[in-house]
Every structure is written in structure tokens, then in C-alpha cells.
């Protein structure tokens, strides 16, 4: 029997995880500590995602991975033994607390201290993401349980000390805190410094954003839940998938509502006969580049000659920029569908071109003649990108009339993991390779290396569209990079956008020669230790690539000639 390579084993494990997750959604329920949950955990350990670091090591608790997960799951998730995933949001008029995680736009409700309900609006990618994080927390809670178990009297002295710390955490300071952290580090199998760093990180977020319960409480809750599972079967953590969720998968419920709302807004603004340019990006870069200089001038502030210096000056002034921009063709459309995708609409004919930053070179005659409209949609999440774009590109019926909007171009600016470079570099897609499927899409990218300033490294090549940021495996990524695939990066949405664009071309909703642009800035390098997403956000180093891509996309849209 032929021995499989590490990358082949990892790919099989990723495929197994996906198949199990899909099956569980249809099955209706499962227990992470049960047989099916153990298979999920085995698969996760087998492909050992880079973002979860030492998760597969039974001797130590993975702290950076814990920080990553806690930032993306609702506060109190560690206490829950009953988690429900549903597609229906029935909690608006209840006393249930709505909780939105610090770093993930997902809606959840605390039904009780031990019960949490997630409202799934982003499609299957969100389900994979949640199940991956729950599986990770289960693996880490089992490590904690093993560490605190004592065959003589049931629990270790370190666990008893942790319970005392929990009872009087608010009073503990200085020397006592150091002792408590040292005790905790023994439970975690980590050094004092590692434990202290994670404590400080989570405590900072807890104080500023009330986004988590603090490291002492999180570790205690994970250990306590596992102790209760061993003694009482009814306390075993169970994940439920409601019938409404099963029916919703593949039906674009939220995406359809979102797209209808956008089209009605465009129609109300009188843009049904205007050329539209769709941009998938963040909610600030296009707005700031077009209106930032004008806002500064209107407020009597100097405008730096360097565009990126101006962007730095604009930080924390988003409200001022929006208020100024609304006078010159800018409309912010708040999402009310549940998709959590807001939209900026910009009527370019109303832009005050006299106040544009001097580094911008737009064709003013083209703007006057064609009157293009920019539709900037916020970042989608995984498969949600297909659903949103598929619905947006379809004709619609408004006031008994069938309206077909004229989509002139689609530009996608995203953040992605890079394989040959480092944080802050730029990647241009020549194709999207869908991980774990036979679907691959050639990209006729209207962007090239020559469009960018020489100060930033730009890589061209295929991009791997992965199932989730938590499902990155070093061996699989190395194979995509070093083999004949020659992939330069990995992301979650581009392949799904391209699938929707190809479908719209086949259906005749958009022309085959419509301009498409894909550019990504590197947020991490999963092949390099210490540069995964779990190592922290980009910060200042993300300004130049983000705004350079934005500037290039705008130059392409507002200078293009037939």
C-alpha cells in the first residue's frame, strides 16, 4: 500500500472534517465529546491548522490559538453546554442578550448562562468556522481536565488554587497576581511569561470591549465543564442544528434580502440607467481616498502631499469624513437583512474634483460623460461571497418593472495569507483554486504589477480559496506553493465571487468581457512561524498596501477608455 505524503494526509483530514460538518448539519445534533465529535477532533489534529499552533500537543494548552478563538466567539462560550445554530432570528423582543464577538461579525444570543444560540447568516463557511472553534475549545478543555485530575482526591492543588483565585479575582493584584498566574501556568503547561502575555491580552480586551471573561475564568469554565461532563451525562456539551438552518443552506435567504435592498436603494437614487462599478472592500478606504482631502480642507487642516500620510491623519475621523462626503454624492446604506454587509454608494458626478488629493489622477471628462456609480460592499465571509454576488448580478423587479442594472466592472480587494512573501505585500490573482473541490477558475485580471508603485512587493499567481482561516495546514499550503500550482496566496472569498461571476455571464446578466480585478494585501504568512493570523493584526503596516490597491482600482475605474 502506497504511503501518503503529509500534504495528502492533511487534505484527506480537511475533506473528512468538511464531510462530517455537512453531515452533522443534516443530522440535527452531535456531542463534541461523543464519537462523532471525536472524529472531528481527530481530523482537526490530523491537519493541525497553523493558526492553532500546538493544539495537537497533549502536554500544553495552545494559548495563541485560544486568543484567536476567544476573539471570534461570543463572550461566555466557554461556559455553555448547549449551543444552537439556527437560521431564524426570533429574539428581537426577548430578554436574551445579543452578543457580537470582538473580531467576527456574527450574531449570537445568550439564552441562559449555559446556552448560546448562533444565527447563521453567512452560509456554510460560518458553520465550518463555528464548529472548528468549538472543536478546538473541546480539545483544549480535555487537556485542562487531564492536567487538573488527581487520582488520589479527584483534583490537583493547582485547580483548588484556581478556584480560590476565581472567588476573589477582583482583589488580586501585584504579587498575588503573579502567584496566581504562575499557578495557572502549571495547569496550562506553559511558561509564566506565555501565560502572562495571554492574560494581559485577554484582560485588555475584556476591559476595553467586554468581549471575554478573562483568562482565569475561561480556563476554569473549560475545566469545570469537562469535570461535569464526566460526572453527569446531561451536562455534556451538545450542538444542535435547527430545521430552519437545514432548509436555509443553499437558498440564499439573507443574500436575496440584501441584494433586493441594495437594488431598491439604487433605484430610489435614480441610478438604474447609470454604469455601476462593484467593489468588494472595507468601508473606509474608497471613501477616505475620494473625500479625505476635501474634508481636511473644509475643516482648515493641511493636506499632506503623501497620500498615505493623509490616511494616517484621517484615522479616527470617519464620522467627519462621512458627514462631509454626504454633501458630495456619498450614501451609506446600512444592512438590515441580517447579512452584516453594509454598502457605500458613490455618485462620482457629484465629487468635488477640485479638492481631490493631488496623487489621484482621474479622467474628469470620462466621469462627466459616463457618470459612473461606485457600489462598495463590505467584506463577505467565505461562501457568503457567492450568495451575495449571485443575487446582486441578477435582474430584479421593482414597481412591476424588470430592472437590469448595468454592471461595468467588479473589483475585489481582500486580505489574504501570502506564501512567497511577508505581511504587507500584495498579491494579484491569475486564477482561483477551490481547496477540496475540482472547481478552478481562470481570472482575466485587469490589474498588473506595473499598476503599483515600486515600493511594495507584488506577486502574481493562483490564489487558493480555502474552507476557512482556521483550516490552514502548512504541508498542504507548501504543496500548492512549491508544486506546479505555483500558488502565491490563500483567501476565502475570491473563488466564490468568481463562481458567481461565471454563472452571471452564462445566464447573460453581465457581458463576458466585463472587467474583473482581484488584489489582496498580505495579512499573514502561514508558512512562517509567528506570522499566522493568530500572531495579531497588521496595524500601521497595513495602510500602504490597502490604500495602494484602493488607489489603483479607482484609477482603473475612473480612467478606463474603450
Q: What is the pLDDT of residues 223-243, one digit of tens each?
A: 999 999 888 777 899 999 998
Name the CA dihedral angle for 128, 500, 430, 4, rounded to a multiple of 10 degrees: 40
Residue owning grid cell 474628469:
364
User: Please, how many CA atoms are within 13 Å of residue 10, restricted to the half-sphere of its CB?
Assistant: 18
Taking each helix axis as running N to C, give the angle between helix 307-314 and helix 285-298, from 0 to 180 degrees, rounded to the nearest 10: 80
Task: Say what the pLDDT of residue 481 is.
Answer: 85
User: Is the distance from CB of 494 to CB of 389 less than 8 angstroms?
Assistant: no
**What CA–CA distance (Å, rounded) separates 45 from 54?**
10
Residues 6+ apart with CB under 8 A from 76: 99, 110, 113, 116, 213
- CA distances in angstroms from 93 to 108, 110, 115, 184, 531, listed in the order given: 15, 14, 18, 41, 43
User: Please, how many CA atoms are within 13 Å of residue 347, restricted to the half-sphere of its CB?
Assistant: 17
Task: Say what the pLDDT of residue 531 is.
Answer: 56
**DSSP-derived 3-state class of residue 119:** strand
How many C-beta neighbours within 10 Å does residue 479 have?
18
**What CA–CA distance (Å, rounded) separates 506 from 502?**
6
Burial of 362 (0-12, 13-18, 19+ CB in 10 A): middle
Closest CA to 364 of 376, 378, 379, 348: 348
Name the CA dihedral angle for 355, 356, 359, 361, rounded to a multiple of 10 degrees: -120
Considering only CA atoms, give the Rg of the chain: 25
User: Is the distance from CB of 427 to CB of 519 less than 8 angstroms?
Assistant: yes
**What CA–CA distance (Å, rounded) separates 548 from 428?**
13
Query: What DSSP line would sit under 132-179, residue for residue?
Result: HHHHHHHHHHHHHHHHHEETTTEE-HHHHHHHHHHHTGGG--HHHHHH
**What CA–CA distance (Å, rounded) separates 372 from 81?**
52
Backbone angles phi, psi at 515, to 5 degrees: -70, 130
User: Is the distance from CB of 121 to CB of 339 less than 8 angstroms?
Assistant: yes
Phi/psi-derived region of residue 343, left when phi > 0, alpha when psi is between -120 and 50, beta in every other case = beta
Phi/psi-derived region of residue 271, left when phi > 0, alpha when psi is between -120 and 50, beta in every other case = alpha
Task: Say what the pLDDT of residue 562 is.
Answer: 45
User: Is the distance from CB of 74 to CB of 85 less than 8 angstroms?
Assistant: no
Backbone angles phi, psi at 341, to 5 degrees: -120, 100
Phi/psi-derived region of residue 156, left when phi > 0, alpha when psi is between -120 and 50, beta in every other case = beta
pLDDT digits (tens, 9 = 90+) for 155-184: 788 999 999 999 888 788 889 999 999 999
Q: Tell me the domain boundaries of the chain.
A: 6-247, 252-557
Grid cell, residue 407, equals: 454592471
**What CA–CA distance (Å, rounded) separates 106 from 21?**
19
Task: Say what the pLDDT of residue 231 is.
Answer: 81
Low-confidence residues of the chain: pLDDT under 70: 1-3, 89, 150-154, 250-251, 470-472, 529-539, 560-562
**DSSP-derived 3-state class of residue 520:** strand
> What letter does residue 492 receive in the DSSP assignment?
S
**What CA–CA distance (Å, rounded) separates 348 from 374?**
7
How many C-beta neighbours within 10 Å does residue 100 have?
13
Q: Give CATH superfamily name and number for 252-557.
A: Nucleoside phosphorylase domain (3.40.50.1580)
Query: What DSSP line would sit under 347-401, residue for residue?
Result: EGGGS-GGGS-TT----HHHHHHH--EEEEEPP--TTHHHHHHHHHTS-EEETTE
Closest CA to 468 of 135, 87, 101: 135
**What CA–CA distance (Å, rounded) separates 353 from 385?**
33
**What CA–CA distance (Å, rounded) separates 132 from 472?**
12
**DSSP-derived 3-state class of residue 346:** strand
Task: Say what the pLDDT of residue 537 is.
Answer: 53
Grid cell, residue 299, equals: 475643516
Amino acid at each position: 500500500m502506497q504511503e501518503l505524503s503529509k500534504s495528502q494526509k492533511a487534505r484527506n483530514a480537511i475533506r473528512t472534517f468538511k464531510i462530517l460538518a455537512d453531515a452533522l448539519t443534516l443530522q440535527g445534533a452531535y456531542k463534541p465529546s461523543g464519537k462523532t465529535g471525536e472524529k472531528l477532533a481527530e481530523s482537526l489534529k490530523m491537519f493541525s491548522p497553523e493558526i492553532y499552533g500546538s493544539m495537537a500537543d497533549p502536554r500544553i494548552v495552545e494559548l495563541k490559538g485560544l486568543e484567536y478563538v476567544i476573539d471570534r466567539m461570543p463572550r461566555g462560550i466557554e461556559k455553555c453546554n448547549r449551543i444552537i445554530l439556527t437560521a431564524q432570528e426570533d429574539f428581537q423582543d426577548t430578554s436574551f442578550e445579543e452578543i457580537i464577538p470582538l473580531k467576527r461579525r456574527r450574531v449570537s444570543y445568550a439564552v441562559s448562562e449555559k446556552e448560546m444560540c448562533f444565527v447563521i447568516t453567512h452560509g456554510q463557511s460560518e458553520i465550518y468556522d463555528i464548529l472548528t472553534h468549538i472543536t478546538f475549545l473541546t480539545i483544549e478543555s480535555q487537556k485542562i481536565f487531564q492536567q487538573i485530575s488527581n487520582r488520589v482526591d479527584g483534583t490537583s492543588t493547582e485547580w483548588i488554587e484556581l478556584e480560590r483565585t476565581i472567588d476573589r479575582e477582583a482583589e488580586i493584584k501585584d504579587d498575588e497576581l503573579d502567584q496566581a498566574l504562575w499557578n495557572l501556568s502549571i495547569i496550562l503547561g506553559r511558561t509564566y511569561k506565555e501565560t502572562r502575555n495571554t492574560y494581559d491580552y485577554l484582560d485588555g480586551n475584556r476591559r476595553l470591549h467586554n468581549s471575554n471573561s478573562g483568562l482565569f475564568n475561561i480556563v476554569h469554565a473549560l475545566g469545570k465543564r469537562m469535570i461535569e461532563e464526566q460526572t453527569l451525562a446531561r451536562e455534556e456539551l451538545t450542538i444542535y442544528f435547527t430545521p430552519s438552518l437545514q432548509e436555509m443552506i443553499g437558498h440564499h435567504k439573507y443574500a436575496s434580502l440584501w441584494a433586493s435592498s441594495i437594488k431598491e436603494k439604487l433605484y430610489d437614487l435614480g441610478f438604474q440607467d447609470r454604469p455601476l462599478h462593484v467593489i468588494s472592500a472595507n468601508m473606509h478606504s474608497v471613501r477616505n481616498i475620494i473625500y479625505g482631502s476635501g474634508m481636511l480642507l473644509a475643516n482648515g487642516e493641511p493636506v499632506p502631499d503623501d497620500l498615505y500620510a493623509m490616511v494616517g491623519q484621517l484615522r479616527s475621523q470617519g464620522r467627519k469624513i462621512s458627514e462631509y462626503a454626504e454633501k458630495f454624492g456619498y450614501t451609506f446604506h446600512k444592512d438590515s437583512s441580517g447579512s452584516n454587509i453594509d454598502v457605500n454608494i458613490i455618485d462620482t458626478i457629484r465629487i468635488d474634483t477640485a479638492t481631490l488629493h493631488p496623487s489621484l489622477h482621474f479622467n474628469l471628462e470620462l466621469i462627466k460623460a459616463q457618470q459612473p456609480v461606485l457600489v462598495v460592499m463590505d467584506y463577505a465571509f467565505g461562501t457568503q461571497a457567492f450568495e451575495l454576488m449571485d443575487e446582486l448580478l441578477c435582474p430584479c423587479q421593482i414597481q412591476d418593472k424588470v430592472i437590469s442594472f448595468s454592471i461595468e466592472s467588479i473589483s475585489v480587494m481582500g486580505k489574504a495569507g501570502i506564501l512567497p512573501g511577508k505581511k504587507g505585500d500584495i498579491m494579484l490573482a491569475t486564477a482561483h483554486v477551490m481547496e477540496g473541490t475540482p472547481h478552478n477558475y481562470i481570472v482575466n485580471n485587469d490589474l498588473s504589477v506595473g499598476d503599483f508603485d515600486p515600493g511594495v512587493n507584488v506577486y502574481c499567481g493562483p490564489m487558493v480559496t480555502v474552507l476557512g482561516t482556521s483550516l490552514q495546514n502548512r504541508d498542504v499550503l507548501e504543496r500548492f506553493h512549491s508544486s506546479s500550482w505555483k500558488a502565491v496566496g490563500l483567501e476565502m472569498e475570491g473563488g466564490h465571487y468568481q463562481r458567481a461571476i461565471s454563472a452571471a455571464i452564462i445566464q447573460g446578466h453581465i457581458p463576458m468581457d466585463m472587467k474583473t480585478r482581484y488584489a489582496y494585501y498580505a495579512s499573514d504568512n502561514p508558512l512562517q512561524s509567528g506570522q499566522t493570523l493568530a500572531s495579531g493584526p497588521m496595524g500601521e503596516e497595513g495602510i500602504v498596501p490597502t490604500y495602494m490597491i484602493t488607489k489603483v482600482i479607482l484609477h482603473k475605474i475612473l480612467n478606463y477608455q474603450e
